[in-house]
Amino acid sequence: MELIGAIIKFFSNNKFKFIVTKHLDSFFLEASSGQNNFIQGKLLDFFIFKNADKIICISKQIKKYFLKKIKVPRKKLKVIYYGLNKSDLRSKKTNVQYLQIKNLKKHFLICCIARHVKQKSLDFLIKAFYEFRKTNPNSKLILVGNGPETKKLKKLSKNLKLDKEIIWIDYSENVLKILKLSNVFVLPSRYEGFGLVLLEAMYAGKPIIASNVSAIPEVIKNNWNGLLFKHNNIRELKSKLLKIKNKNISKKFVKNSKKSLEKKFNFNKMINSTYEIYQKAINQN
C-alpha cells in the first residue's frame, strides 16, 4: 500500500497528502525475512520517502535507521510510540489450550508470542530453553504463533527431546489469559521496529526478558522494567531467566512496566500525536 500510495501521489501532481508509518528498521521487501535479504527494496523506499509528506516512525531506532540509509530530510520523520489499546486485550471465552496451561501451576512457565519467522530467533530460544531445563527441569516453554519456520522449530524440539516440554499454540484469542498464567515473557528477536507484544506482556503484569537489539531498549530499560540480553547468547539468557525467578526483582519490573504504559506508551497519547500529524498536513498548502 505504501508503494501504491507513492505512485498515485507521484502522478497526481500533489493533489493530496501522503503519510506513511514505518514499523520496521528494514527496507521494503525485507520485513520479517531478514535485514540481509538478497532482494532489497532500498530504491522503492527512497521513492516512497521522496513522495511522502510525512513519515511516522514507531521508534527512534527506525528513524535513525532510515536517516542513515536513505537521504531524507530529518523534518519529514516523526517518532510516535505505540500505545496499548486495552480494549483489544479483553479475554475471550476459555479454550482447551488455556485449560492445558492452567493445570501447570507448579511449573515455571516461559512464554513467547511471536510469528515463526527468522526475525524472531525462536530456534535460539528453544536451544536456550534446553540448557535452562538442565538445572530447572520443572519448567515449560509456551510458544504462541505459527509461520514458515514452524516445521523446522518442531523438528529442532524433537531432536532435543523437548516434545513434551514445549506447548505449541498456533493461534489463540486468549493471549492475555495465557500471559497471566506465565511466569515470564521472553522476546529473543534479531531486530524489532518496536515489539507491541512487549506492551501486552506489561499489561498482563509479567516480567520481561528480551534481546538488546533495535528498538527493544526503548521499551525495556535493563534492570528497571525488565532484563536485556545479548542476542543469541544462550548463557546470558539462562542467567537472566534465573534472575527473574527472584520474586522481589520480578515485582519491581512489573511495577515499573505499569509506569511505562501510563506515561510513555499511552494509547490516547499515540492517537492525539497521530491526529496532529494528519491535521498539520491537511492545513499545509
Tell me the per-residue pLDDT of 149-180, one tens digit each, with 9 for 90 and over.
999 999 999 999 998 999 999 877 778 889 99
Domain boundaries, the chain: 2-83+266-283, 86-263
Say what the pTM is.
Answer: 0.89
Cell 525488565 found at: 226
Phi, psi of 227 (to 5 degrees): -125, 140
pLDDT at 92: 59
3-state helix, strand, coil in the chain (%, to 5): 50, 15, 40
Strand partners, 222: 226
**Pick from 194, 196, 252: which is nearest to 222 by CA?**
252
Average pLDDT over residues 221-250: 97
Q: Which pLDDT score, from 0 to 100, does residue 174 have?
A: 76
201-220 per-position pLDDT tens digit:
999 999 999 999 999 999 99
Residue 90's pLDDT band (cuts 50, 70, 90): low
Helix extents (H) in the chain: 2-11, 42-51, 60-69, 96-102, 122-133, 150-159, 175-181, 196-203, 216-219, 234-244, 247-263, 267-283
pLDDT in tens, 93-144: 556 677 778 888 889 999 999 999 999 999 999 999 999 999 999 999 999 9
In this prediction, residue 28 carries a pLDDT of 77
* pLDDT at site 25: 85
User: Which superfamily is assigned to 86-263 in CATH?
Assistant: Glycogen Phosphorylase B; (3.40.50.2000)
Cell numbers representing residue 41 in the block: 527494496
**Are 138 and 169 within 8 A, CB to CB?**
no
The better pLDDT of the pair 54, 37 is held by 54
Cα–Cα distance, 82 to 264 (Å, whole number): 9
pLDDT tens for each residue of 44-75:
899 999 999 999 999 999 999 999 988 889 99
Q: Which of 87-91, 234-238, 272-276 has the lowest mean pLDDT?
A: 87-91
